[in-house]
Structure 1
């Protein structure tokens, strides 16, 4: 199979350089029209791909221009502008927001930061002018979370080009992207692979640079985006190689950490929309002679959804202030992993809760609750499985504690800037010594708790900057209760294990009939 038919590129629309607020307003109006009045857009809940008119109207306003510097034809702007585009998009469509995130965080930002001037001049003006799309290929069939073990390799040729060969899969926009950022390891003279990783820009419209699609996957959710298996056998100019400031591994970590820190932008609009729709449903749906909103359990669900929105707003605030491409984020794994895991867990829990409130109607593929359930689930897997990232959160804390010769978790967290004030609100709940040899499941449990304490710290800061004190206090109360439950799970013993070589359960012979 070659590739999917690419949505046709619309003619260039020259837009005045209006203020960012006017730009956002125009984009919001466009999305409201597309997803509020065009009912055929909602068909993408059950059908695959993006209707061509959606891509055309979406790119007419061109939210992706905020990721491209003005000298290359874009709007430029701080990272907060990109987060705003993600939020506005995900309020109407989480899959479309992921398209924005892939293009912005996983292609444009690393190219702008690390690309050679020759490559940027060749790629960025065309990207904006011709309304192109782009993505990143890291994952391989045998190496998902083990990115550093990838088998795609590259070698220099004798004519100022680089030959890249390998297999990639689960890259969003498979068969659609005009540009790919390909990851590969340098080959040794004997054909082996070095430990470092390099990034290369491949232009799908240039001879010899096209990545072939071997198979398209029937992905369960996010049906707007094509995914599949790709055969990489390309030759690109040497100037297409990104230039790390130190090592390729640090460049990859910088890119992935920045991307993870921007996932709250997608979560923000998505969670706001679920909360808005759930509130409307709770006010308008009557059961037993009264509105759902009058039931205490419904109030509890809605209050928790509201706490998710508040906590995500705090993460967006932090990212906007600290994660610009002028900063190196390869050492910010604790914060990046905490943000990614917590907001994506919240997204899935919010979908489950909205589906519960919606009843049978929500269990339709064309209902927002049903679509939210399957569309948000991959967020807990891609860009690092949450289980693995939670483990890494704990390991990074344990490593720092060992270095400081500190064994008391509470004492450490009260001294750590990412958790200091939030940890102080737990009293004796955090006063215990770390088990240096804890099993993996305990690493995950503790990572969940620490990550939520990090988000509490950001929420405290959000409140100090003038955000609603009532909303902040509600978020802190909800999350504090969750953390205490996680800590209780962590401290409990009784680790279970799989009982192997068991026979089929014989329960029928053990039935006692009532007399």
Structure 2
């Protein structure tokens, strides 16, 4: 399903919406407050096929599309950006790399397990000294007979403490810049793997962004995904496919903030009438709606490009959608806090959480400054 307006997609959206109202909305504030991940929610997402949504039917999965993933992520993000990350939670760290760059033997080995909806994966790129500059990766994977021996440290690895497998990007040779970086699928049960601290974050609480350590960790050479030394190119290809889901989460988060602000504006009485009747508030609400509708239309234009396999147009369009929608979410959530006034600054209402969460959307999956450079280079190439 790639047509977001089809009857089948609308039924899918409604089924996710009902699950969110039942399972996610009641615990969203608690997850943020306690910064603890509710492991029982994994089974719920797995049973709906959301965790493993992109695993093809031929490997036992639901056979979903990028569009379906975005629809589900949008609905979950209306109440919890943190839990929206579970939609396609295995995609960037395992499913997409194996489908696009892995061998058939690797797909046969891992995808049926992931299709059961009980396995989490993570992707490990960022290091203490390496963020946007992926070419600066220092983690090494040295070939030793039939194994790779991995040493190094990763930081800000989302869900790294929950993952069964981690796609690790490491330097396998001393090539210049991005050359010499490879991607290797590492079971977290391996000797030499350990999880470090989970720093306290401004938002996106409940899902930990942890340090990972690799100390002479041995993994079979057959776990190399794609060609040795081409890991950076593989990573960029997968990020292009995943960035529309960041746009969708941004749209959902903004919609949730608008819904809360509108409900409050209709109930809050000042000077003898609801503040929703004041023109200044109406103009803010109207602008929020305009921005959300524009972001939603852009997002699903890009998901159709992704699902069609048009990899020539996708990189720039994915960057445009991610940048526009995350900037939009930051503005809409900030305006939602303003509509509520002093109440918007209190944790009694969800809009302050939405505002804190929105900031992350401008940073992860490639900062918006990097996205603008990508767009500019595509235009001037």
Q: Which has the larger radius of gyration?
A: 1
Higher mean alpha-carbon deviation, 23-32 vs 259-268, is at 23-32
CA distance in structure 1 between the partners assigned to 2:267 and 2:152 by the alignment: 55
Say if 2:256 is the partner of 1:273: yes
Rounded to whole Å, the distance in 2 between the matches of 1:305 and 1:130 is 36
Q: Secondary structure at the match of 2:86?
A: helix
> Equivalent of 1:217, from 199, 204, 228?
199
Pick one of 148, 151, 174 that aligns with 1:162: 148
Instruction: Kindly state the Cα deviation for residue 64 of structure 1 after the two structures are TM-superposed.
Output: 2.2
What does residue range 104-503 of structure 1 map to in structure 2 within 5 Å? 104-129=91-116, 131-158=118-145, 160-188=146-174, 195-205=179-189, 207-208=190-191, 211-233=193-215, 234-243=217-226, 247-324=230-307, 326-328=309-311, 332-397=314-379, 399-400=380-381
Is this contact kept in 2: 1:102–1:172, CA < 8 A? no
Other-structure match for 2:5: none
How far is the alpha carbon of 1:109 from its aligned partner? 1.7
Matched-pair contact (CA < 8 Å) for 2:302–2:317 = no
**Corresponding residue of 1:43:** 30
Unmatched 5+ stretches in structure 2: 1-7
- Asked whether the 8 Å contact 2:330–2:355 carries over to 1, the reply is yes
Q: Provide, for residues 476-501 of structure 1, a one-character-per-residue CA deviation record: whole Å limited to 9, x for no partner.
A: xxxxxxxxxxxxxxxxxxxxxxxxxx
Determine if contact 1:181/1:199 at 8 Å carries over to the other structure. yes
**C-alpha separation in 1, matches of 2:184 and 2:348:** 39
Higher strand share: 2
Q: In the TM superposition, what is the alpha-carbon distance from 1:212 to its structure 2 partner? A: 0.9
Instruction: Give the Cα separation in 2 of the matches to 1:151 and 1:140.
Output: 8
3-state SS of 1:177 partner = coil
Q: Which whole-Å CA distance do the structure 1 matches of 2:179 and 2:338 have between them?
A: 47
Q: Secondary structure at the match of 2:150?
A: strand
Q: How far off its partner does 1:147 sit?
A: 0.6
- With over 3 angstroms needed to count, the CA separation of the structure-2 counterparts of 1:130 and 1:323, relative to structure 1, is closer
Normalising by the residue count of structure 2, what TM-score does the alignment of the two structures yield?
Answer: 0.89
Structure 1 gaps of 5+ residues are 1-18, 401-515
CA distance in 1, matches of 2:272, 2:74: 37
Deviation at 1:326, TM superposition (A): 4.0
Aligned to 2:214, what secondary structure does the other structure show? strand
SS in 2 for 1:67: coil
Displacement of 1:22: 5.1
Normalising to structure 1: TM-score of the pair? 0.67
Are the counterparts in 2 of residues 46 and 365 from structure 1 also a CA contact under 8 Å?
Answer: no
Contact 1:179/1:201 (8 A) holds in 2: yes
Using the alignment, how far apart are the partners of 1:275 and 1:155 within structure 2?
A: 51
CA contact (8 A) 1:178 1:203 kept: yes
Give the secondary-structure state (helix, strand or coil) at the position aligned to 2:307.
coil
Higher relative contact order (CA 8 A, sep 6+): 2
Contact persistence 1:68–1:108 (CA under 8 A):
yes
Residues 106 and 347 (structure 1), Cα distance of their counterparts in 2 relative to 1, 3 Å cut? farther
Q: Is the 8 A contact 2:31 2:206 kept in 1?
A: yes
Tell whether the 8 Å contact from 1:109 to 1:325 is kept in structure 2 after alignment: no
Distance across 1 between alignment mates of 2:102 and 2:161? 23
Any conservation in 2 of the 1:26–1:61 contact (CA below 8 Å)? no
| C-alpha contact (below 8 Å) 1:41/1:51 kept by paired residues | no
Deviations 1:28-61 (A, max 9, x none): 222111234x4x5521121112223333333332
State the alpha-carbon separation in 2 of the partners of residues 246 and 183 from structure 1: 10
Q: State whether residues 333 and 351 of structure 2, in contact with CA within 8 Å, keep that contact through their aligned partners in structure 1.
A: yes
SS in 2 for 1:199: strand
Give the number of equivalent residue pairs: 373
Residue 218 of structure 2 aligns to a residue whose secondary structure is strand
Report the more deviating stretch, 262-271 or 132-141: 262-271
What is the deviation of 1:328?
A: 3.2
Distance 2:117 2:375 in 1: 41
Provide the C-alpha distance between the structure 2 equivalents of 1:366 and 1:74, rounded to a whole number of angstroms. Answer: 40
Is the 8 Å Cα contact of residues 99 and 225 (structure 1) preserved in structure 2?
no
Q: Are 1:83 and 1:262, in contact at CA under 8 Å, matched by a contact in 2?
A: yes
CA distance, structure 2, for counterparts of residue 194 and residue 97 of structure 1: 31
Q: Is the 8 A contact 2:52 2:90 kept in 1?
A: no
Which residue does 1:92 correspond to in 2? 79
Give the equivalent residue in structure 1 for 2:59.
72
